Structure 1
């Protein structure tokens, strides 16, 4: 854990980093593949809409019934002639959903279930939902989603800029598409709880994105006045600086949702928790992914199309090339200073002039010559 903490601190200080922006084509490819899979699953399998959206009846037995789920499902399908969805609740009662049923049919099915379960008909509660009610819920959900998207784009365009607003909108559509596609592939029932979960994850999805955008906005002030970093490099530093924070907040948010999904819905049999917990779990994970791998790289792509930032990139690369050439020149001259022969030395022809020996004249006796 201490090593992870040290790594997080080094990431925040910029001592180490991973090139998220440089590998953006890989992230785009992965996201496109996942999105296409979700769309294909949605088109082929479709959504398992609950009776709140398509109308029908819900029958609830008394607590502690001795009838199994398979027996109740078989009895309900024989009595109604339609497919039935049976869930065992935490108190031991059964929740039987049958779509496309009116009042008269529900009364007949209720009596037939009471006979099969060997209980009084009053011990089984019946609730009817008309299809018009489901249409109203769906219309309100789409209306709320559209209003939310418009407000998000307006806010981000004012607080940051329109390119960041577009990138955040693309990330949101990415998260919703993946979540809905997972619902289609898994076959979980879509209920009003699912809609609540979808609308809830939009805020969580934007949280990490806005944190990275805020850091990027602070670090790119007066960016064109320097020649050390390009916009993409600053964007990459912003991702690395907020990476540990994004991971920590996502993990903390996913833990209780995972408890609802796997323990509450799986082990305890509280099937109604699956409606909201699956959308929250998938949406939170997709939101954390999109804020790092989709939103910020897309902003970098859009920003570096601007003329002034393209000119900045050219200046930065030119300066680095010049610095690299100066370093090569310095290293070559350092080699000469340490005894390396210059290239022109081989072209010298003829004997070299030898320096006068300091010992010349030593050892001779002093005085006049004879």
Structure 2
């Protein structure tokens, strides 16, 4: 009887891991390049996004053998040689690639999370009793899950530069990093020697085991299509910073197809100003070579990932636009050339940020619109334009 019970327990564990892995794979495949995972717009705190979701069907996949030389041109990481990914499956309508290395990453990530999950639950119960606001015990479990799951596949950043710039763990700061892939989360959570919360789309928090652990650690969720939820997310993030938590955000809001850094959204800098929290820029280098946007998981074991931590920026005497410019320049300075915006794109992004800075805040625009117009004033001007 004991052996039979043990066998049943093993079967249940294996089945749970398989189901969690499938759920994670589906969630990753569901997020495409055209979904534009934007948390905050450049002109204000929120933005309405047109999203065309789809649910990939597992029976709709191709099994193929490929090398870097055989990869389509549009799948290349600009300026870099592709990682040979060998035998692989193409999942979903976008034919996102999952190879043997990626499946190994996925399996080890879910296995480590499953093994540590009981400790995460116990840490959550302790935190709810003694540390409800910060939940450091749960943060530590999330840190060890990310670190052990990456070490189990022999991955760690080749170099972490500027660790001396990290503020004390007791200070709530806003970490801002360029966004390349899901591996960003594992890299920062596992190897940045500080506790912090993420601002994440609510779909991530629904991933089995991983998302549940993030919920217990009080990571901050946002519903992208719900304006009220986004405003509440801003308030929750400010309060979390004031409670002494550090928060990590990706100011681009989404990853780019080429792997080059994209434009920043205004929301994180509004949060930093209102919370009075220092901003710590972080450059994540070379991750996109190993985990491009068209892959479900990494195509190979990353060997040259660098994390560059820049000096903190105090928002006290800066406008939001100035704070954004400094953070953008700092992160860009730490990136390799193939991840930096092209000169023409950089000029376009700078002009866009300048026009956004010159525009009045949305609250002022609403107040101006609510004021009655005098005869012959602005209202008449609008009427004349309509007649013309």
Tell me the TM-score normalized by structure 2.
0.21
Tell me the TM-score normalized by structure 1.
0.21
Q: Which has the larger radius of gyration?
A: 1
